[in-house]
């Protein structure tokens, strides 16, 4: 890779406590230091982004590499595709996934298909950041979980980081990927703090086992892991030990890890914040059924718009009690395999 690293670049501790937003900003800073082709474009990126995920980058790299744009998602995505085809590695900021719908043609019909339609002569190595999930008190047009749409789209990688470490390591991996990456950070995770090891590499397509157990396999991603982990604490107190897997990358997804766990436990519970109907959990469930014959259950949101009033918004949330009860019911049922 080409480099514009100054000999005396700032040294930071290899392991430090960072928020989800700070971890992403550090990852992007390191990739911009290492590769002059990495640029950022989008609304409000110059002032750090609406969640602080670009804090300090325009001051460090200038307005030619951290580019504030007009309010037009189609123009932003289209410009990013053109930059990528011209040899740059753009980070395309969509603010939230709900707004990215205005740039879908450029992503779906140009970025995703270019490598295929031109026989590999063109590559579109862009990262489209589009925060997803329920955003507290932000109503139906700002609280959607649309990751299954993009997982259905041939030609793109889909990433859903759940921790500050994931958001650092996976963003760096996404920026080094040669294909378009739909990078879906959660709108309510930006202030989550944890230790981040800057030296830790995390390849795309590799899940993580967060807890180990033999009673059942539980698979989730993004912010829903917090509720799943809390549910696993409840279940552990009842003697139910769970294999909890954070998928991290939805496409490609870690079939080997998930199916291996399902074959061992004989039971699979898929949990996601997105609407259950046609959610990505259905793909995992179908694959596990075909490969292992395990007993399967799914937990997802009802097929309703997310309400603004707290009592309505709560109806779209998948909570700890709901997850724990689904796991209990799955464990009470006899295994399907012989």
> How do residues 289-305 score in pLDDT, each as one tens digit?
999 999 999 999 999 99
Asked whether the predicted pLDDT for residue 175 surpasses 60, the reply is yes
Q: Residue 149 — very low, low, confident or very high, per pLDDT cuts 50/70/90? A: very high
Long-range CB contacts for residues 71-79, cutoff 8 Å, separation at least 24: 71/43, 72/102, 73/99, 73/100, 73/101, 73/102, 73/103, 74/102, 74/103, 74/105, 74/106, 76/41, 76/42, 76/43, 76/103, 77/103, 77/106, 77/107, 77/111, 77/128, 78/103, 78/106, 78/110, 79/41
Question: What pLDDT does 336 receive?
Answer: 77
Q: What are phi and psi of 35, to 5 degrees?
A: -140, 110
Question: What pLDDT does 1 receive?
Answer: 35
What's the whole-number mean pLDDT along residues 183-210? 97
Q: Contact 249/169 with Cβ under 8 angstroms? A: no
Question: What pLDDT does 334 receive?
Answer: 85
142 has catalytic annotation: yes
- Partners of 208 in the β-ladder: 246
Token representation of residue 313: 């918004």
Asked whether the predicted pLDDT for residue 5 surpasses 60, the reply is no
**Token pair 């959660």: residue:** 186
Asked whether the predicted pLDDT for residue 2 surpasses 90, the reply is no
Question: What pLDDT does 331 receive?
Answer: 95
Asked whether the predicted pLDDT for residue 18 surpasses 80, the reply is yes
Asked whether the predicted pLDDT for residue 337 surpasses 50, the reply is yes
Question: What pLDDT does 335 receive?
Answer: 75
Q: Classify residue 260 as exposed, middle or buried by CB count within 10 Å of its CB (0-12, 13-18, 19+).
A: middle
Question: Could you tell me the sign of the dihedral formed by the alpha carbons of 300, 274, 285, 204, in that order?
Answer: negative
Query: Do the bridges between strand 157-159 and strand 249-251 make them parallel or antiparallel, or are there none, so unpaired?
Result: antiparallel
What's the whole-number mean pLDDT along residues 257-279? 97
Q: What is the C-alpha to C-alpha distance for residues 24 and 198, in angstroms, rounded to an integer?
A: 11
Asked whether the predicted pLDDT for residue 158 surpasses 60, the reply is yes
What is the percent of the chain with per-residue pLDDT over 90, rounded to a whole number? 93
Q: Contact 221/199 with Cβ under 8 angstroms? A: no
- 3-state SS class at 3: coil
Q: What is the CATH number of domain 208-332?
A: 3.40.50.920
CA neighbor of 254 nearest in space, from 223, 301, 226, 217? 217
Q: Residue 4 — very low, low, confident or very high, per pLDDT cuts 50/70/90? A: very low
What's the whole-number mean pLDDT along residues 206-221? 98
> How do residues 42-73 score in pLDDT, each as one tens digit?
999 999 999 999 999 999 999 999 999 999 99
What's the whole-number mean pLDDT along residues 22-37? 97
Fold equal for 18-197 and 208-332: yes
Classify domain 18-197 at the CATH topology level. Answer: Rossmann fold (3.40.50)
Where are the chain's structural domains? 18-197, 208-332
What's the whole-number mean pLDDT along residues 83-101? 97
What's the whole-number mean pLDDT along residues 274-301? 97
Which of 142, 168, 186, 272 is the catalytic position? Answer: 142
Question: pTM for the whole thing?
Answer: 0.93
Asked whether the predicted pLDDT for residue 166 surpasses 80, the reply is yes
**C-alpha dist (Å) from residue 168 to 34, 174, 190, 322:** 15, 10, 12, 31
Mean pLDDT for all residues in the chain: 94
Q: Contact 154/112 with Cβ under 8 angstroms? A: yes
């Amino acid at each position: 890779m080409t480099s514009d690293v100054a000999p005396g670049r700032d040294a930071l501790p290899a392991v430090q406590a960072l928020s989800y937003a700070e971890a992403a900003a550090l990852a992007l800073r390191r990739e911009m230091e290492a590769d002059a082709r990495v640029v950022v474009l989008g609304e409000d990126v110059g002032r750090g982004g609406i969640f602080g995920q670009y804090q300090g980058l325009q001051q460090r790299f200038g307005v030619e590499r951290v580019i504030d744009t007009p309010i037009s998602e189609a123009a932003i995505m289209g410009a990013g595709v053109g930059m990528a085809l011209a040899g740059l590695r753009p980070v395309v900021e969509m603010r939230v996934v709900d707004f990215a719908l205005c740039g879908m043609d450029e992503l779906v019909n140009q970025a995703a298909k270019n490598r295929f339609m031109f026989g590999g002569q063109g590559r579109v190595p862009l990262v489209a950041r589009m925060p997803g999930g329920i955003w507290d008190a932000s109503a139906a047009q700002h609280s959607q979980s649309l990751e299954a749409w993009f997982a259905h789209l041939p030609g793109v990688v889909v990433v859903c980081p759940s921790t500050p470490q994931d958001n650092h390591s996976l963003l760096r991996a996404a920026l080094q990927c040669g294909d378009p990456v739909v990078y879906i950070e959660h709108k309510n995770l930006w202030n989550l703090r944890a230790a981040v090891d800057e030296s830790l590499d995390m390849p795309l397509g590799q899940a993580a086992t967060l807890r180990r157990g033999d009673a059942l396999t539980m698979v989730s991603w993004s912010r829903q892991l917090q509720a799943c982990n809390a549910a696993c604490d409840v279940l552990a107190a009842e003697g139910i030990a769970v294999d909890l897997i954070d998928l991290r990358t939805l496409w490609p997804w870690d079939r080997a890890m998930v199916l291996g766990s399902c074959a061992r436990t004989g039971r699979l519970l898929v949990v996601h914040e997105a609407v259950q109907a046609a959610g990505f959990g259905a793909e995992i469930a179908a694959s596990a059924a075909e490969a292992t014959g395990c007993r399967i259950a799914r937990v997802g949101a009802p097929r309703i718009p997310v309400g603004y009033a707290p009592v309505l918004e709560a109806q779209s949330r998948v909570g700890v009690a709901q997850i724990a009860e689904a796991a209990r019911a799955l464990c009470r049922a006899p295994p399907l395999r012989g």
